[in-house]
Amino acid sequence: MQRSLISSLMEQRSCTDCVLKPMCRPAIVRPDEMELLAGSVLPRRQIPAGTAVYRQGDQVRALFVSQGGVLKTETLGVDGQAQVIGFHFPGELIGVEAFDSGRFRASALALEPASVCEIPIAALERVASQDPSFQRQLMRAAGSCLAHQQDHIELLSLRQADERIALFLVGMLERTEAATRAEQTLIHLPMNRSDIASYLCLNNETVSRSFSRLRDDGVLGVNGRHVRVLDRGRLARIAKVSDMEQPRLA
């Protein structure tokens, strides 16, 4: 299912026939814009699981969009501990924060085998200067990155571990539904418990215990990285989300 989708992506050569075109929010929207970029966007890299798309401190020569495979971004704190900054699903632009200093503030790693689209800065600027609506899309993409970060902070503002886990899962569920355009109850987590723990600023033991508690309470079915949402209403209530937020499949 997911496999065949990904492998079909592996084959594609240009953005004009991108399977993810409709959800490729970040930069490419209109066909003519795609043609403008076509010559430069082409570089697409296969990233093996666990390896880096770019590393913290690298000079920014391009931005990236995963076309298949989830990525994580993380910074190495001064004490050597990695702090997961975000998880990035196909179609999301990453690396924008590097525009500030010219260097990436975080490393981007593939959680699973990924196909990543590389957008050279020069091409980005060239197209943006030629096409105002593309430029607007670029700003939208940057705004979207910022919005995701704000969601992350709101997530961390929840004090209880169960609340954070619940909100995290609600987010993962919504992203899964947005990708499949169908209501889901099963979530596949592409990251391990330590990554979740880091993202939520918790210990991995605490994450594990939260999963178990939610399982014992009949809210979740937990089997490693496969989580089934058994009681969506209760999950939303724990996450303090306005009960049963309508899934937006736009």
Q: With respect to DNA, which residue has the nearer C-beta, 127 or 202?
A: 202
Of 20, 25, 16, which is closest to residue 8 (Cα–Cα)? Answer: 20
Q: Quick one: 157 or 223, whose CB is closer to a second copy? A: 157
Residue 152 tokens, joined: 């992350």
Q: Which residue has the tokens 């939260």?
A: 210
DSSP H stretches of helix in the chain: 2-11, 31-41, 121-130, 132-157, 161-180, 193-200, 204-216, 232-238
Q: Which of 174, 148, 178 is nearest to 73 (CA)?
A: 148
Q: Which of 207, 127, 119, 204 is nearest to 163 (CA)?
A: 207
DSSP 202: S
Our finding on whether 211 is near DNA (CB under 7 A) is: yes
Six token digits for residue 235: 């999950």
Partners of 107 in beta bridges = 74
Window of 33-41, 153-161, 212-220, 224-232 that interacts with a second copy by CB under 8 A: 153-161
Candidates 36-44, 107-115, 134-142, 211-219; binding stretch for a second copy (CB under 8 A): 134-142
Q: By rule CB under 7 A, what string of x and - marks binding of each residue 162-181 to DNA?
A: x-------------------
> Rounded to whole angstroms, how far apart are CA atoms 153 and 200?
9
Q: How far apart are CA 134 and CA 240, in angstroms?
A: 37
Q: Nearest approach, Cβ of 137 to a second copy (angstroms)?
A: 10
Min dist CB 196 to DNA, Å, is 8
By CB under 7 A, tell whether 34 contacts DNA.
Answer: no
135 phi/psi in degrees, rounded to 5 = -60, -40
Residue 143's binding partner among a second copy, DNA, none (Cβ under 5 to 8 angstroms by kind) is a second copy
97 binding a second copy? (CB under 8 A):
yes
Partner whose binding site includes residue 211, from DNA, a second copy, none (CB under 5 to 8 Å by kind)? DNA
21 touches a second copy by CB under 8 A: no
Closest approach of DNA to the CB of residue 49, in Å: 10
Residues that bind a second copy (CB under 8 A): 75, 77-79, 83, 85, 96-101, 105-106, 125, 128-129, 132, 135-136, 138-140, 142-147, 149-150, 152-154, 156-157, 159, 198, 201, 240-242
Residues that bind DNA (CB under 7 A): 159-162, 192-194, 201-212, 222, 224-225
